[in-house]
Amino acid sequence: MEQKIRLKQQCKQHLRRLGIKDALSFKEQIKKIFQEQDTQADAVVEIYKLALPDWDDIKSIEGYPQAGEDLCRMICREFIEFDSKNHPGCFAGGLWMNKGFSMNRNLDPWEIGFDECSVEY
C-alpha cells in the first residue's frame, strides 16, 4: 500500500515537472504523443512515461495503472483515431485495450491511480 501512495505522489510531481497542471495541459500532452509517434507501441510507452517517473529505472510492472474516466476515454479515442489512420489493418485501439490503463470511476476525471499496479525498480 505504501508503494502505491508513493507512486501516486511521484506521478503528480512528475506531471507537474512536465508542465501538466490541469485537464487542458494533459489533453495537449496526450495529443502531442500521438502526433510524434509512429507506432502503437511507441505511443503506449510514451503514455506510461507520463504516469511512471524514472521510466528507465523500472525493471518490471505488475498490473496496470488506472485512469479517471475522462482521461481514460480521451486516450482510447486518440488510439482509435491513430490506429484508424496509421494502422488500418489492425483493431483500432486494441493495443491500448490490452496493455493500457484501467478505467477507475472513483478517481478524479484526469487522475492516475495505482491501486492495481506495482513497480519494481
**Beta pairing class for 66-67 and 112-113:** antiparallel
Q: How confident is the model at residue 39 (pLDDT cuts 50, 70, 90)?
A: very high
Q: Find out whether 121 and 111 touch, Cβ atoms under 8 Å.
A: no
Q: Is the confidence at residue 15, as pLDDT, over 90?
A: yes
pLDDT at 48: 97
C-alpha distances in angstroms, 16 versus 13, 26, 53, 76, 83? 5, 10, 11, 23, 29
**With pLDDT > 70 as the criterion, what percentage of the chain qualifies?**
99
pLDDT at 100: 96
Q: For residue 82, how many C-alpha atoms fall within 13 Å in the half-sphere facing its CB?
A: 25
Alpha carbon distance 18, 103 (integer Å)? 23
Q: What is the DSSP string of 91-121?
A: -TTHHHHHHSPEE-TTS-TT-EE-TTEEEE-
Q: Would you state the cell numbers that stand for residue 10, as one nine-digit string? A: 511521484
Model confidence over 55-109: pLDDT tens digits?
999 999 999 999 999 999 999 999 999 999 998 888 999 999 999 999 999 999 9
pLDDT at 87: 87
Q: Is the confidence at residue 5, as pLDDT, over 90?
A: no
pLDDT at 2: 81
Q: Is the confidence at residue 4, as pLDDT, over 80?
A: no
Within its chain, how far is the Cα of 113 from the centroid? 10
Alpha carbon distance 77, 92 (integer Å)? 9
